[in-house]
């Protein structure tokens, strides 16, 4: 019988989660959900020197935000725990000892200084770096001598001195490594913590992981892992190394390309739906044209077969486009709920809080079509909330002379003063004919009114905007514009 699918996302808390980390998490999650298997989160926190405070929280928070729920791991537990490697040290120590006992590993007493010197020598002689195996064949006597000196040894793996290590990657196909290029790598450090290699292999085995889907950069570790699986007599999982993510210029992805940590996207107001869609296409595709694809469809159609071999291009313009599409797809109520917190935090503090929900409800439809991220909402709507507009007087007379502007604004003021109802169609009904009465092109007249009522040259539809602002505010603002023009 085929073993059930069990995949894991195994982040190290050495930094905030970035696009690459979360793409790995997403692919594992999609594969688990598609295969009705289990998605496990395991925290690989064995490199104590590189722990970053808050990293674990940020990783888990990113998964929550994107709704990548896990079946086993931190917060939820499970039968294969603990899921923090720092809580499994006894397991790794025992296995490292076992490898020493069976002759596949040995104690190494070389000091960091000696290793440093050795590396410098190797560099000078232009030799490949790697441990020179000095302690590989220590006699019992030599070992005792070193032990008495109180040196705490590390445990190193005895890498075969010749031959090849092969394995088959589900994406890359057959990969062959020459064992002579591998040194005797460390399994257990002198602080008692395992290295990534040992802990990763042991846990994938003990947690019965069926498939390892991880970033391409780990491919270089594979020969060591394969040798360890063999020495421990474990059956290795299947491996699938995901293509590297590159910037549009094909260089290593960085901030310069708009790639920021996952929670920064949340802060900027990208919808999680858009991020999931976007990340899924970083190295996977449904066919050669589909761009918009829902979470449900992703789960239904995800397959390892359609993961690309070549680098995936991260294009921030595409993400922005997608983000806008997902925002426009929200129903009015949902959009309101999501945009409100961004207005609460994004609008100037001088504006009274909490914001009026009813008022925001009227404004929301005017911007839903126009924004790319929820974070832009505050900037787009500030003029709806402030008491006084702050704009350059010159904007009032870009298209017309001051005299014409004064005349037009006076006429508009009069026109809207006694309107029966102050709604979009009544406003249009009075202002459109007024343009021709004034002998002005509608574009010029409406442009002028837009500046007077919003302080900007680009804003949502003029009549809708004025209707939401209300008569009182519009009249005040036209009055203020007249004053600016010296009228």
Per the listing, tokens 């970053």 go with 52
For ligand GLU, the closer CB: 218 or 422: 218
Encode 218-238 in three state secondary structure: HHHHHHHHHHHHHHHCCCCCE
Q: Which stretch binds ligand GLU (CB under 6 A): 5-13, 146-154, 169-177, 266-274?
A: 5-13
Q: How far is CA 322 from CA 276, 315, 371, 374, 400, in A?
A: 10, 11, 11, 13, 39
Spatial distance between the Cα atoms of 392 and 299, rounded to a whole number of angstroms: 52
For ligand GLU, the closer CB: 24 or 368: 24
* From candidates 51, 218, 234, 301, binder to ligand GLU by CB under 6 A: 218
Does 11 engage in binding with ligand GLU (CB under 6 A)? yes
Residues 123-152 that bind ligand GLU (CB under 6 A): none
Does 373 engage in binding with ligand GLU (CB under 6 A)? no
Q: Shortest distance, CB of residue 78 to ligand GLU, whole angstroms?
A: 18
Question: Tokens representing 434?
Answer: 């007024």
Does 203 engage in binding with ligand GLU (CB under 6 A)? no
For ligand GLU, the closer CB: 42 or 257: 42
* From candidates 88, 214, 241, 257, binder to ligand GLU by CB under 6 A: 214
Q: Which stretch binds ligand GLU (CB under 6 A): 6-14, 72-80, 186-194, 233-241?
A: 6-14
* From candidates 6, 7, 12, 202, binder to ligand GLU by CB under 6 A: 12
Alpha helices in 50-178 (DSSP H): 55-65, 89-101, 112-124, 140-148
* From candidates 19, 44, 73, 276, binder to ligand GLU by CB under 6 A: 44
For the chain, how far is it from start to end, CA to CA, in angstroms?
88
Specify whether the CB–CB gap between 410 and 482 falls below 8 A. Answer: yes
Does 46 engage in binding with ligand GLU (CB under 6 A)? no
For ligand GLU, the closer CB: 96 or 222: 222
| 313 contacts: CB under 8 Å, gap ≥ 6 | 245, 246, 247, 248, 250
For ligand GLU, the closer CB: 24 or 464: 24
Q: Which residues are tagged catalytic?
A: 255
Does 58 engage in binding with ligand GLU (CB under 6 A)? no
Spatial distance between the Cα atoms of 254 and 417, rounded to a whole number of angstroms: 55
* From candidates 165, 195, 200, 381, binder to ligand GLU by CB under 6 A: 200
Closest by CA to 170, choosing from 212, 201, 207, 204, is 212
Spatial distance between the Cα atoms of 39 and 19, rounded to a whole number of angstroms: 19
Spatial distance between the Cα atoms of 66 and 273, rounded to a whole number of angstroms: 7
For ligand GLU, the closer CB: 15 or 248: 15
CA angle at residue 360 from 467 to 448, to 5 degrees?
Answer: 40
# binding residues, ligand GLU (CB under 6 A): 7
Does 38 engage in binding with ligand GLU (CB under 6 A)? no
Residues engaged in binding ligand GLU (CB under 6 A) = 10-12, 44, 200, 214, 218
């Amino acid at each position: 019988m085929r073993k059930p699918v069990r995949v894991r996302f195994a982040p190290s808390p050495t930094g905030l989660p970035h696009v690459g980390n979360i793409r790995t998490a997403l692919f594992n999650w999609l594969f688990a959900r598609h295969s009705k298997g289990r998605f496990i989160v395991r925290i690989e926190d064995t490199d104590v020197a590189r722990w970053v405070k808050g990293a674990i929280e940020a990783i888990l928070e990113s998964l929550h935000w994107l709704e990548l729920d896990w079946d086993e791991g931190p917060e939820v537990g499970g039968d294969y725990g603990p899921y923090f490697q720092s809580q499994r040290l006894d397991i790794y120590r025992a296995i490292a000892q076992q490898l020493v006992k069976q002759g596949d590993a040995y104690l190494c007493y070389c000091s960091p200084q000696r290793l440093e010197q050795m590396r410098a020598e190797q560099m000078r002689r232009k030799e490949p770096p790697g441990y020179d195996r000095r302690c590989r064949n220590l006699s019992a006597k030599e070992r005792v001598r070193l032990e008495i000196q109180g040196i705490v040894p590390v445990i190193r793996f005895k890498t075969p001195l010749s031959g090849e290590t092969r394995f088959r990657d589900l994406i890359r196909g057959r990969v062959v490594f020459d064992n002579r290029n591998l040194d005797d790598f460390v399994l257990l450090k002198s602080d008692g913590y395992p290295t990534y290699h040992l802990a990763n292999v042991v846990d994938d085995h003990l947690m019965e992981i069926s498939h390892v889907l991880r970033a391409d950069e780990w491919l270089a570790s594979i020969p060591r892992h394969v040798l360890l699986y063999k020495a421990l007599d474990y059956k290795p999982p299947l491996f699938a190394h995901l293509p590297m993510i590159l910037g549009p210029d094909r260089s290593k992805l960085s901030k310069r390309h708009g790639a920021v940590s996952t929670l920064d996207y949340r802060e900027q107001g990208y919808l999680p739906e858009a991020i999931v869609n976007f990340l899924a296409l970083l190295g996977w595709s449904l066919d050669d044209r589909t761009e918009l694809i829902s979470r449900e469809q992703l789960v239904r159609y995800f397959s390892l077969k359609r993961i690309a071999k070549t680098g995936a291009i991260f294009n921030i313009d595409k993400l922005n486009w997608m983000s806008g599409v997902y925002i426009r797809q929200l129903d009015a109520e949902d959009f309101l709920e999501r945009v409100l917190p961004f207005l609460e935090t994004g609008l100037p503090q001088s504006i009274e809080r909490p914001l009026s929900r009813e008022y925001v409800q009227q404004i929301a439809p005017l911007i839903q079509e126009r924004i790319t991220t929820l974070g832009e909402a505050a900037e787009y709507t500030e003029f709806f909330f402030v008491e006084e507009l702050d704009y350059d007087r010159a904007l009032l007379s870009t298209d017309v002379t001051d005299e014409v502007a004064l005349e037009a604004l006076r006429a508009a003021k009069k026109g809207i003063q006694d309107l029966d109802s102050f709604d979009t169609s009544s406003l249009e009904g009075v202002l459109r004919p007024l343009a021709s009465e004034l002998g002005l092109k509608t574009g010029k007249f409406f442009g002028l009114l837009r500046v007077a009522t919003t302080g900007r040259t680009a804003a949502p539809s003029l009549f809708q905007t004025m209707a939401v602002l209300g008569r009182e505010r519009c009249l005040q603002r036209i009055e203020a514009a007249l004053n600016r023009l010296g009228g």
